Structure 1
Amino acid sequence: MSSFEASLEYAQGLDQTDILFPFRERFHFPQHEGRDVYYFCGNSLGLQPKMVSYLMQKELEDWAKHGVEGHFNAAMPWLSYHKFFAERLAKIVGAVKDEVVAMNTLTVNLHLLLLSFYRPQNGRYKILMEAGAFPSDQYAMETQVRMHGFDPYDAIIEIAPREGAHTIEESDILDAIAHAGDSLAVVIMGGVNYYTGQYFDINKITAAAHAVGAYAGFDLAHAVGNIPLHLHDWHVDFACWCSYKYLNSGPGGVGGVYVHEKYGNDPYFFRLAGWWGNEEKTRFKMQKGFIPQKGAASWQMSNAPVFNMVAHNASLDIFDKAGMKELQEKSRRLTGYLEFLLKKLTNLSFEIITPSDPEQRGCQLSMLFADRGREIFDTLTANGVIADWREPNVIRVAPVPLYNTFEDVYMLYEIMSSI
């Protein structure tokens, strides 16, 4: 970080040599007093790709032109719409194409996967997760264990930061898994903690879970499109994510699922059955008897929500053109520059609670303020900065490499330095 400089000219110079800078033009920005806002909220809702309106209009035209025959005759036939995402999604999460599918929404998918992978028996009934996980994950775990007749206070192991710390020690996670031993059924962690921005070592956690005979699953809501993932090579059992954050697929956008091929290709591995998960060759015979199709697609319940998936299609095309390796390289430098500038601020009392090690974070930095947090957040908003407020006193900012610039980061610093 010592090589950085705190000047507008320096930031603009970095933008001039940034090969990803042109991708910014592919997105719509909210406006503030006649200019683009400084948008640092991609960890909550990504910006709209400009291509979305064109692609949406094409689908509307196909619906008008073909009616029900659009399932077969649309430019992108609706019958197989979910397949158009598989290869691009697989690149982003590091999977085999058949291991991923775009479907449903995040918590629906989490429950569907837990119904397959959390099947307690023979004293193996506990779930291990991080304390302070996103509330929806906490609710899901609580109701899953209750459904099987267990008390959440006994069946759920929560790993919390040590006293006085904000992030969780990796060794504490691994030790807790080993200690739970053969009572542990599933480890389910967030890939990146939504509040602190801490990235958990998915590879090590998966290996530790498998060492005691437990499944390893992950909620990748804040990880997908943010950090490099290699789910197949890490032997992760299952994962799910939303697409409206870093994947820029619109509010309530279609979720995604990963299931390792050893389960997806096993027709006897339990999953809830739905028409769209059935073997395609027999789907329209309308017969009894669920025959799962190959891969993660067999977890599908219903046909693809086409209009919901249009933005997903547009955004994944941008990711495919930009490349995750290039995005990760820029992300590290962009976030590093933001950290460098924030640490130069002396007029505000706050602590960055996101790990400073680039290996333990994505592009989010969380600032915990000693006081005046909400006042500072409101001042940023009044100056055209869109960030994210979290109780009790945290401002989250995420410089997203697809559309944020080094100048954006510098201007955030300038505005904060004037408060």
Structure 2
Amino acid sequence: MQFKNTLEYAQQLDAEDQLSKYRDEFHFPKVNGKQVIYFTGNSLGLQPKRTQKFVDEVMTDWKELAVEGHFYADKPWWDYHERLAAPLAKVVGAKPEEVTVMNTLTVNLHLLMVSFYRPTKKRYKIICEEKAFPSDQYMLQSQVRFHGFNSNDAIVEVKKREGENFWRTEDILKTIEEVGDELALVLIGGVNYYNGQVFDMETITKVGRDQGAFVGWDLAHAAGNIELKLHDWDVDFASWCSYKYMNSGPGNASGVFVNERYLNRKDIPRFEGWWGTKRDTRFLMKPEFEPMENADAWQLSNAPILSVAPYLACLELFEEVGMAALIEKRNKITAYLEFILHEIDKEVESSFEIITPKERGCQLSVFLHGEGRPLFDYLMENGVITDWREPNVIRLAPAPFYCSYEDMYRFGQILKSGVLKK
């Protein structure tokens, strides 16, 4: 497609965009009285306007029904989370029974490790990517120490090649083969938070499982951003947060996927709680745990309804639009942003290097060669909400629900003025 770096062209793209109306479904912050250009949906998505209704409904039920809201609210609280399973399954490519919502991301990864990291004296090693998100690093390190292993030995990091900013699938597969029958688990972020790379989850999962290991994915930057087929890829487990591309609000409830082969089983190790037992007999207070026949068996406590309600509101939007349409716009608007960056690069002395490979979602990570923190500060002061990562990288995520092509054009003009200003 032949893009143009003009306001008129960007506005034409917006006029042709079937999803442009959804921009008005979100609240935007303002800087200097003007609506911001928001590039940090990969950190915290904007608030959907309809979220307020979902939260107010719960607050009203709590006020008017108190404890009876568990059973007599319009959306009874005792099965509230079950409403999320079917629409969420579509987003992550799963069967509804393989999906549940509970806790927060790292809590869920720890809980899933009970089931899927079962080291033996021989098979105890974990493969992850170099410099995984710190929370994943801390989680893995504490897990291997808990089991009595040294993290320097038990955790095998796949590194990027010298001089490259991305991982090669063949290096990951080679590492899996080298670790061999010592490998207990492969756990990688499906989309890397720093460079925005999408990993070949299907291939890595197959090779890892063929090696006799469990394979799981941290999908924090993937859910709601890229096409996922967790069931078809035969992934063992996965978890993701809901507050990035899924716009559920800061720190809100996390999603979990457990492959159907592990459902309705009493023999799998798992930390268990009241809300994971069969709901038909839950209130009989039986001493023996009888697992739910779906992923809800991994739940411990009743759902935090005020955290789950915004997630349900967001999933209503995903149901209306569908992942296919979001991905189509994501590809086009990200390509337009890439074009704008290259065009501005021609007009200024600085050099912008996009370190995100072609296997990407909607994030572009950009080295600002010759620039520093002052350029980031300039962008923020002029209404471009973006993300700074040391030493001189900005992450730009044009989320398709609410970012416009005009945003991309205007960002380019602000970026250029920030460079020329120094």
Normalising TM by the smaller chain, what interval? over 0.9
Task: Select which of 342, 351, 354 maps to 1:352.
Answer: 354
8 Å Cα contact 1:41-1:387 kept in structure 2 = yes
8 Å Cα contact 1:373-1:395 kept in structure 2 = no
* CA distance in 2 between partners of 1:249 and 1:142 (Å): 29
**Residue identity opposite 1:170 in structure 2:** T
Give CA deviations for 1:104-127 in whole Å, capped at 9, x if unaligned: 000000000011100012511000
Deviation of the 1:54 alpha carbon? 1.6
Q: Which residue of 2 aligns with 1:228?
A: 227
Give CA deviations for 1:128-151 in whole Å, capped at 9, x if unaligned: 000111000000000111111110
Matched, 1:80 2:79: yes
Q: Which residue of 2 aligns with 1:93?
A: 92
* CA distance in 1 between partners of 2:246 and 2:264 (Å): 27
Q: Which residue of 1 aligns with 2:320?
A: 321
SS at match of 1:42: coil
SS at match of 1:251: coil
Q: Which residue of 1 aligns with 2:33?
A: 34
**Residue identity opposite 1:260 in structure 2:** N
Matched, 1:127 2:126: yes
* CA distance in 2 between partners of 1:287 and 1:318 (Å): 39
Name structure 2 gaps, 5 residues minimum. Answer: none
**Residue identity opposite 1:268 in structure 2:** D
**Residue identity opposite 1:335 in structure 2:** T
Q: Which residue of 1 aligns with 2:195?
A: 196
* CA distance in 2 between partners of 1:121 and 1:295 (Å): 28
Q: How does 1:144-159 map to 2 (within 5 A)?
A: 144-159=143-158
Q: Which residue of 1 aligns with 2:369?
A: 370
Name structure 1 gaps, 5 residues minimum. Answer: none
Q: Which residue of 1 aligns with 2:54?
A: 55
Q: Which residue of 1 aligns with 2:168?
A: 169
**Residue identity opposite 1:278 in structure 2:** T
* CA distance in 2 between partners of 1:147 and 1:171 (Å): 31
* CA distance in 1 between partners of 2:123 and 2:370 (Å): 45
8 Å Cα contact 2:101-2:255 kept in structure 1 = yes
* CA distance in 2 between partners of 1:292 and 1:122 (Å): 30
Q: Which residue of 1 aligns with 2:63?
A: 64
* CA distance in 1 between partners of 2:388 and 2:130 (Å): 20
Q: How does 1:210-229 map to 2 (within 5 A)?
A: 210-229=209-228
SS at match of 1:217: strand
Matched, 1:182 2:184: no
**Residue identity opposite 1:352 in structure 2:** I
Q: Which residue of 1 aligns with 2:383?
A: 384
SS at match of 1:186: strand
Deviation of the 1:242 alpha carbon? 0.3
* CA distance in 2 between partners of 1:394 and 1:296 (Å): 39
Q: Which residue of 2 aligns with 1:395?
A: 394
* CA distance in 2 between partners of 1:12 and 1:260 (Å): 44
Deviation of the 1:232 alpha carbon? 0.2
**Residue identity opposite 1:39 in structure 2:** Y
**Residue identity opposite 2:82 in structure 1:** K
Moved over 4 A (4+): none
Deviation of the 1:94 alpha carbon? 0.3
Aligned CA RMSD, in angstroms, stands at: 1.0
Give CA deviations for 1:133-174 in whole Å, capped at 9, x if unaligned: 100000000011111111001000100110111111111001
8 Å Cα contact 1:43-1:222 kept in structure 2 = yes
Deviation of the 1:270 alpha carbon? 1.6
8 Å Cα contact 1:167-1:354 kept in structure 2 = yes
Give CA deviations for 1:339-386 in whole Å, capped at 9, x if unaligned: 11111223222311101x2xx100000011223231111010111000
* CA distance in 2 between partners of 1:169 and 1:28 (Å): 39
**Residue identity opposite 1:10 in structure 2:** Y
SS at match of 1:200: coil
Deviation of the 1:296 alpha carbon? 1.0
**Residue identity opposite 2:101 in structure 1:** A
Give CA deviations for 1:75-95 in whole Å, capped at 9, x if unaligned: 110000110100010000000
Deviates more, 1:102-111 or 1:336-345: 336-345
Deviation of the 1:313 alpha carbon? 1.1
**Residue identity opposite 1:249 in structure 2:** S
8 Å Cα contact 1:264-1:296 kept in structure 2 = yes
**Residue identity opposite 1:171 in structure 2:** E
Deviation of the 1:37 alpha carbon? 0.4
* CA distance in 2 between partners of 1:386 and 1:105 (Å): 25
Aligned-pair identity in percent equals: 53
Deviates more, 1:363-372 or 1:85-94: 363-372
Q: Which residue of 2 aligns with 1:17?
A: 16
**Residue identity opposite 1:197 in structure 2:** G
